[in-house]
Amino acid sequence: MNKSSSAVFLLALGFLVCEAGNPCCSEPCENRGVCTALGTHNYECDCTRTGYHGQNCTTPEFLTWIKISLKPSPNTVHYILTHFKGFWNIINNISFLRDAIMRYVLTSRSHMIDSPPTFNADYGYKNWEAYSNLSYYTRVLPPVAEDCPTPMGVVGKKELPDIKLLAEKLLLRRQFIPDPQGTSLMFAFFAQHFTHQFFKSDMKRGPAFTRAKNHGVDLSHIYGDNLDRQHRLRLLEDGKLKYQIVDGEIYPPTVKEVGVDMHYPPHVPDSHRFAVGHEAFGLVPGLMMYATIWLREHNRVCDVLKEVHPDWDDERLFQTARLILIGETIKIVIEDYVQHLSGYNFKLKFDPELLFNQRFQYQNRISSEFNTLYHWHPLMPDTFHIEEKEYNYKQFVFNTSVVTEHGINNLVDSFSKQIAGRVAGGRNVPGPILHVAMKSIKDSRKMRYRSLNAYRKRFSMKPYTSFEDMTGETEMAAVLEEMYGHVDAVELYAGLLVEKPRPNSIFGETMVEMGAPFSLKGLMGNPICSPEYWKPSTFGGSVGFDIVNTASLQRLVCHNVRGSCPVASFYVPDVKDTGSIIINSSSAHSQSSDINPTVILKERTTEL
């Protein structure tokens, strides 16, 4: 765009601003400047601590100019980290260099998330209610004002496209597109299981509200989100959780035995109504598989602690085991889950001490945008292959018998071998769960999210200049243009799914650059990562601390299945790599269960 056309465009925006009566609708303040309307024709940009000045916060200060001149683009950084494997192998083996890079990764990402929180769906300005009311998800960007001329401010059409038409033309799978990174269903179900301890939208109050009691990793999906549910799930002996034995293996107890609420349709028999921390985890075998593995791990850790501390009572054993499992979870998420997701040759490291001398706040609030971007429905395949059987969605959903019929070993083995779908690039949401993606768009509109490009600017990415620039092709770009009219009007969630993927990657640039700061801030902001908590005594001494510091997905599985341990992997291994693993552990005696994803309880399972 040349100077004359830019002037015409800004002039046109000026007329729209006047018409709108809210000059902030055009988002005039750049570089995270805050817009305050002064009547219907004027506004003021607060550029405080942005590194910019001027009427619209567009003029960089000298140090900012140097920084932005030298800073490579996110795609350049991604390319460097995902290539030059020999170089990174050297860096990974030089501890002080690896620590320095990891510290930079953590601080640079985490500082992109406002702490304390700023906005929520009902407040587009800072106030005490938005800060203190924990029943709301927080917001990164304030909602589009209701008096703006278009749903995205001043650009685009007066009405957003029909949701059903949008989903069918741009999101619905034509043919399964596998993830080029080789992501497995083991990863897909882990993502679903892990995130639903803090993504618990209150469907009665609306998508702006959360039912989660804590905005972070608290393992409420294992222990329940209130004391009554926790106590019903506990054995109240030796710190352990209740369980049942099926064919010689440990599985969750039944609802009838425990007396907690779980979401099962009427046709599920009492014997298959397993009771776990999250009330919706009976939905699919992949979820119940992980619930079972963690149940076994909790009870295994209690046995280890009891051996070292025979004088500890039930309560102390339980509480300490919970802290150990939180530590295991965070380590697995960073070193296995995020490592796979990133595709980096640089080896990520979970070490809270890297941040002890940094400016960092040990608290977290879950953002609604984070919840929305995590709806990775394209991960799901068309059917699910377990041993020699193939299950369609109808056969898979609410079928907990799959877990006990096949056993945890076979579920882990099968899910590690089946590839998941690519998330970015469009047209890869399975038909049976398309309505869930449609509900995400509907909820996003209730939340009045700003555009994909607005979020790209907020997270230091250049906005897309055309629909072809966004999609990397012409056919879907033409559909988007017809529906939205302007590239700055494309909605956040739809944009994330149709965005061109990075080369040989599961996601596009926006998904990664937005998601990583939320993820790392939430993980490292956990209390156990603080200087006061991160010490052996918190975890019952060196034995418990060692469990945390040596945790991995493979160890988690191998400690909790009988006999030979299957390869547990977030990527589909080469055939030569598959097989069995023997772990020499006297504690490897528990087992697990499984569950998969889909629909039926539509309101209850929208996020699943």
Whether cis (ω within 30° of 0) applies to the bond prior to 597 is no
User: Which of these, 57, 164, 157, 170, lies nearest to 488 by C-alpha position?
Assistant: 157
Q: Which of 374, 449, 493, 571 is catalytic?
A: 374
Helix (H) or strand (E) holding 231: helix 227-233
Query: How far apart, in whole angstroms, are the C-alpha atoms of residue 123 and residue 145?
Result: 10
Helix residue ranges, H only, 358-500: 368-373, 393-396, 401-417, 434-447, 452-458, 467-471, 475-484, 492-498
- In a 3-state reduction of DSSP, which class is residue 15? helix
CB atoms within 10 A of CB 238: 16
**Under 8 Å between Cβ of 398 and 282:** yes
d(CA 524, CA 533): 12
Are the CB atoms for 551 and 561 separated by under 8 Å?
no
Q: What are phi and psi of 35, to 5 degrees?
A: -90, 130
Element containing residue 86 per DSSP (H, E): helix 85-92
Which DSSP letter does residue 270 get? G
> Could you say which of 78, 193, 196, 559 is catalytic?
196
Q: Which burial class, exposed, middle or buried, applies to 226 when counting CB atoms under 10 A from its CB (0-12, 13-18, 19+)?
A: exposed
196 catalytic residue (yes or no): yes
Per DSSP, the residues of 374-393 read T--GGGS-SSEEETTEEE-H
* 360-383 residues labelled b (16+ CB within 10 A) or e (exposed): bebebbbbbbbbbbbbbbbbbbee
Instruction: Enter the tokens of residue 504.
Output: 């040989």
Token pair for 481: 């243009």
* String of DSSP letters for 56-77: TT-EE-HHHHHHHHHPPPHHHH
374 catalytic per annotation: yes
Residues marked as catalytic? 196, 374
